[in-house]
Amino acid sequence: MDSSVLKVTTHTRVSQARSFRVPGYLIVEPRRRVTSLADLQPDERADLMNCLAEAEGWIRSLDPVERVYALRFGESDGAVHFHVVPRTNRILEAFLREHSEEPPYSGARIVDWLWFHQERVGYSEAEVMEWVKRAHALIEARGKLPLS
């Protein structure tokens, strides 16, 4: 199993994002390729929502975060998937070094900036893999195996 995969259920997969070097930046996606939430069966929708809630819970349990953003775009191939993005103080501080913004902050602007400037936050691959390791341990401690 790919170590970036945190959980696989009958209908949903949750993984650390490979394209973004940010610990706890997760991708939650249906295992069946669909381009619309309306195409999901009720049990698939329920499982997807449960996995989104769990993903947010893991992030909040493992790191001090002010916000957790859940976003769906699908611009590249249209497949339904959600980006679950932690807004840590480190991310916010890096963003504010370049933008003068006052609270309440625009989560959309922060995530957009992060997509194009993630290297300015300075997370290493080792930090990402350490987060994944801690997430696996948390999931197992809660009695939920990574593959259930």
Looking at residue 1, its pLDDT comes to 56
Residue 108 vs residues 11, 58, 114: alpha-carbon distances, Å: 28, 22, 10
Report, at the CATH architecture level, how domain 5-87+123-141 is classified: 2-Layer Sandwich (3.30)
CB 56 within 8 A of CB 68: yes
Looking at residue 76, its pLDDT comes to 85
CB 7 within 8 A of CB 143: no
- H/E run at residue 114: helix 107-117
Facing residues of 148 across strands? none
pLDDT tens digits for range 77-120: 899 999 999 999 999 999 999 999 999 999 999 999 999 999 99
Q: Delimit the domains of the chain by residue range.
A: 5-87+123-141
Is the predicted pLDDT of residue 59 greater than 70, yes or no? yes
pLDDT tens digits for range 5-56: 999 999 999 999 999 999 999 999 999 999 999 999 999 999 999 999 999 9
Which has the higher per-residue pLDDT, 142 or 143? 142
